[in-house]
């Protein structure tokens, strides 16, 4: 076994000794960016509706730091309305190439207008027009209606700037629990969960049976 192989194994199986879950997540995401063929920042987002029934869908992580995990969406969409109704959410990252999973649960806050404006401005022009054209999650009578709405808004903004729609913003999940899972032989996997009572408190760490 080479020194690099040993270093990789140590990083993979020594994570249970780490005490900073957000830095550990950043390291795992960096590993995924090197090995995952598509969307290493893809994550399952779970919410609940007004009847308490769960919903889950894939979204893309756009930022992660000590404050939490950020994604952007139409706030009038189903997921937007469900988050605004509870201000709670859960996430799951699964990196098959690395045999790793991270689960996150927490409370939610909206990002600032400045943060939303900056990210929206970084998107491709067609994506910005699409944010205006799509009435996300609402019934669509046919593909032509969507294409007509795109054409209408493309003409409206012509060659000018495409501003951020008032109904489009970002959410930050402020974690109260982060669980790390790593595949091990014979299904004797490594699991470690970090918990805290609120976003301003320190973390406690517990190792779990697989």
Residues 6+ apart with CB under 8 A from 134: 74, 146, 149
Q: Residues, the chain, total?
A: 210
Q: Indicate which residue of 123, 187, 196, 207 is catalytic.
A: 187
Contact between 43 and 58 under an 8 Å Cβ cutoff? The reply is yes
Q: Is 187 a catalytic residue?
A: yes
Instruction: Please choose, from the candidates 41, 20, 35, 59, the residue with its C-alpha nearest in 3D space to the C-alpha of residue 175.
Output: 20
Residue 8 token pair = 């990789």
Residue 14 token pair = 């020594």
Catalytic amino acids?
A: 187
């Amino acid at each position: 076994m080479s020194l690099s192989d040993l270093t990789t194994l140590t990083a993979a199986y020594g994570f249970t000794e780490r005490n900073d879950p957000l830095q550990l997540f950043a390291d795992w995401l960096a590993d995924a960016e090197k090995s995952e063929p598509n969307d290493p920042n893809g994550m399952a987002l779970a919410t609940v509706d007004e009847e308490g029934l769960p919903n889950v869908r894939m979204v893309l992580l756009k930022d992660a730091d000590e404050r939490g995990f950020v994604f952007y969406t139409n706030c009038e969409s189903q997921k937007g309305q469900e988050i605004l109704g509870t201000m709670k959410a859960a996430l799951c990252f699964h990196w098959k190439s690395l045999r790793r999973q991270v689960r996150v649960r927490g409370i939610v806050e909206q990002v600032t207008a400045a943060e939303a404006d900056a990210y929206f401005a970084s998107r491709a022009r067609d994506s910005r027009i699409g944010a205006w054209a799509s009435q996300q999650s609402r019934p669509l009578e046919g593909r032509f209606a969507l294409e007509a709405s795109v054409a209408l808004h493309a003409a409206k903004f012509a060659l000018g700037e495409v501003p951020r729609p008032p109904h489009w913003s970002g959410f930050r999940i402020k974690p109260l629990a982060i669980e790390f899972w790593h595949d091990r032989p014979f299904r004797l996997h490594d699991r470690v969960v970090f918990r805290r009572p609120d976003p301003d408190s320190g973390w406690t760490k517990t190792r779990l049976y697989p």
